[in-house]
Amino acid sequence: AQIHTHMCYCEFDDCMEAIDRMDTDVNSIENARSDNATLEAFKRIGYSKGFGPGLYDIHSAVVPPVEEQYNKLKSFLGCLDIEQTVV
């Protein structure tokens, strides 16, 4: 079994070390509108657990085209190892 957590928008830089210490296997965040700034912050602290960066804002009435989601996922892989990326 895996333990997952989800965090919506916040100032992640203020609590990165605490997030890293959480006893979870996968951390999913809302990253759809942050231009990977949040992913870069997790990369800077050496975050190595599973990570779900969020392809788009599920609360939005607009679902991005598949190509846009594909390109966003590719951009995540510049910040995360493929082995830790959860979609």
Catalytic residues: 59
DSSP alpha helices (H): ranges in 1-87?
Answer: 16-21, 37-44, 66-76
Number of residues written out for the chain: 87
Closest CA to 3 of 29, 25, 21: 25
